[in-house]
Amino acid sequence: MTDSILVVAHSDWREGRLAPLLEAKGYRVEWCCPAGGQCLPANGAGYAGAVVLGGAQNVGEADSKPYLHQEMDWMRRQVAEGRRLLGICLGAQLLARALGAGVAPHAEGINEIGYYPVFPTPAGSAVIPAGMHVYHWHKEGFELPGQAELLARGEAFPNQAYRLSSKVYGLQFHPEVTASVAAAWVEGAADQLSRPGAQPASRQQELGRRFDALLHDWFDGFLDLWLGRSPAVS
């Protein structure tokens, strides 16, 4: 098994805790940005797994941004071939759509921008701690693919995490985003904090101080679970 992880990004953003956590486990991180013209590898067998990150794009823009269709086709193949795949925010939405599920804005225009709690389903009790606060930045949510297990629910967006198999997961939230990265996002897109449901910057800073370390530790254990290094999140 290769020791490389492919990370599919939708911009030139490379910060956060994902790469450092993977590198600390002995993996080499290889980045690919189809939005910037880079091609996805034809054969995912060369990687121990792939992570598809979030981005400012929406799934509904796929017809005007063909690389999103290419990503969905590629993700569908990874699932069919039994590869390890993790979708985060937009990545989870793309995976859901690739498998036939709907992706759409909240019916009341609500956004999740900030730290919000998620709650495990019975299937997710060994994966998601009850009431864990996680970082979000999205206005759309996904329906559950027919073959998936729902692992966590949220208050505004009911579907927050799902599992297709021990190798394939989708997360609506951003465990890779640190409190300092969240602060930079807020500074760079402060106008979005006026959207319904978004938390003010001061509230995000307060919750980031409370929950960032816990989220770091959870994501570290979750990556072990996804990579088959641990049977559960400790």
Task: Retrieve residue 204's tokens.
Answer: 């995000």
SS3 at position 145: coil
Q: What is the pLDDT along the chain (234 residues), one digit of tens a residue?
A: 479 999 999 999 999 999 999 999 999 999 999 999 999 999 888 999 999 999 999 999 999 999 999 999 999 999 999 999 999 999 999 999 999 999 999 999 999 999 999 999 999 999 999 989 999 999 999 999 999 999 999 999 999 999 999 999 999 999 999 999 999 999 999 999 999 999 999 999 999 999 999 999 999 999 999 999 998 897
Torsion (CA) 46, 37, 182, 62 in degrees, nearest 10: -100
Q: Tell me whether residue 69 is in a domain.
A: yes
Q: Tell me whether residue 17 is in a domain.
A: yes
Q: Where are the beta strands (DSSP E) in the chain?
A: 4-8, 28-32, 49-52, 85-88, 103-105, 112-120, 132-138, 140-142, 149-153, 161-165, 168-171
Q: Tell me whether residue 234 is in a domain.
A: no
pTM above 0.95, yes or no: yes
Q: Tell me whether residue 95 is in a domain.
A: yes
Domain containing 59 equals 4-226
Identify the CATH number of the domain in which residue 131 sits. Answer: 3.40.50.880
